[in-house]
Amino acid sequence: MKEIEKTAIEEISKTQTQEELERVRLKYLGKKGIITEKLSGLSKLALPEKKMVGKELNIIKKNITDAIEKHSSEIKKNVLSDISKNVIDTTLPGKPFDFGKLHPLTQVMNEVKNIFVNLGFNIATGPEIETDYYNFTALNIPKDHPSRDMQDTFYIGEQGNNGTMKQELLLRTHTSPVQVRVMENQKPPIRIIAPGKVYRHEAVDASHSFVFHQVEGLAVDEDVTFADLKAVLEIFVKKMFGENIASRFRPSFFPFTEPSAEVDMQCLICKGKGCSVCSQTGWVELLGCGMVHPKVFEFVGYDTEKYTGYAFGIGIERVAMLKLGIDNMRLFYENDMDFLSQF
């Protein structure tokens, strides 16, 4: 046994790396190591012998363990001094790194903003935490409207002093409340877009997310007509998707506009011939719009005889998916480098 100890200590002292040292440790003290096997063989011995040999083995085990520890810290010390002796070649080139760039949604958002800024729109902003009044009431969305349902809206309770709800707060479900805030603070003429995040209480799938982006538009003045709205949105579609892309206005309903419309654009995939993306219709839905409802003007104290206006709301994820040919909205939020680096 003394012989084994001697060899082990010798082998330990010869190792130069932690890996080599570990190999020696396993050879003697590992599960199937020489010392370990001897220790488990003890049970076969008679009692007085067992005691004696066991004691001896444990001393050897401790000596080997101590030697390993001591040698391990020596190896560490050597490595450090090697570094200080310039064993590391600092003239070698560094690891290559990627340049950052704007997220595809930010790129599309910027493009949309640019188009409208070039048409004379200013950029307005509003809070993402809104009151029931701005998000719904002042937009002529009555108390029993389905979009007020808890399923669609994230409500936030703010406690008053006596434990009651002080004010009904929520995460805005659209950028339309910015229309109201702008009109409360400004007299016509108004020409703004309001880009930003909106929130809906819904399950995430390929075309839904609980947070997404919209760009709201609002123009109010004397003699603003539906023709102005049509012109502006047609220009938007052409600038965004190409000069030869047709768009059409389809009657629709929104509580805050009358008349209301949705704009469809020619399907980019089949160029209007009909395919699976456009359900064989040749058209895909793009945005909602309309002439500002007189009720909304009344809420902000505008003279409904004097002023007219149009409004629109564009879903940025939708525009980005069509423009970049992406069929799953979740890709925008997963921050997968292989996906992001393509744009």
Judged by CB under 6 A, the stretch of 4-12, 103-111, 239-247, 285-293 that binds ligand DAH is: 285-293
Residue 137 CB, shortest distance to ligand DAH, in Å, is: 14
Q: Give the CA distances from residue 211 to residues 52, 141, 316, 342, in Å, rounded to whole numbers and listed in that order.
A: 73, 21, 11, 23
d(CA 305, CA 221): 11
Parallel, antiparallel or unpaired: strands 283-292 and 247-254:
unpaired
Q: Which residue in 33, 177, 288, 309 binds ligand DAH (CB under 6 A)? A: 288
Nearer to ligand DAH among residue 254 and residue 332 (C-beta): 254
Site for ligand DAH in 117-176 (CB under 6 A): 174, 176
Q: Is 289 in the site for ligand DAH (CB under 6 A)?
A: yes
Residue 26, token pair as written in the block? 């396993």
Single out the residue of 267, 312, 322, 332 in contact with ligand DAH (rule: CB under 6 A): 312
Decide if residue 290 touches ligand DAH (CB under 6 A).
yes
Helical H runs in 267-310?
294-300
Residue 276 phi, psi (nearest 5): -70, -30
* Widest CA span in the chain: 113
303, HSE (Cβ side, Cα atoms, 13 Å): 9
Stretch that binds ligand DAH, among 7-15, 187-195, 263-271, 284-292 (CB under 6 A): 284-292
Is 257 a binding residue for ligand DAH by CB under 6 A? The answer is yes
Closer residue to ligand DAH (CB): 5 or 216:
216
Q: How far is CA 281 from CA 90, 237, 251, 278, 327, in A?
A: 63, 18, 17, 6, 18
Residue among 148, 308, 313, 317 that touches ligand DAH (CB under 6 A):
313
| CB nearer ligand DAH, residue 196 or residue 288 | 288
Window 186-225: residues binding ligand DAH (CB under 6 A): 216
155-162 LR contacts (CB < 8 Å, sep 24+):
156/129
Q: Which residues form the interface with ligand DAH (CB under 6 A)?
A: 174, 176, 216, 254, 257, 288-290, 311-313
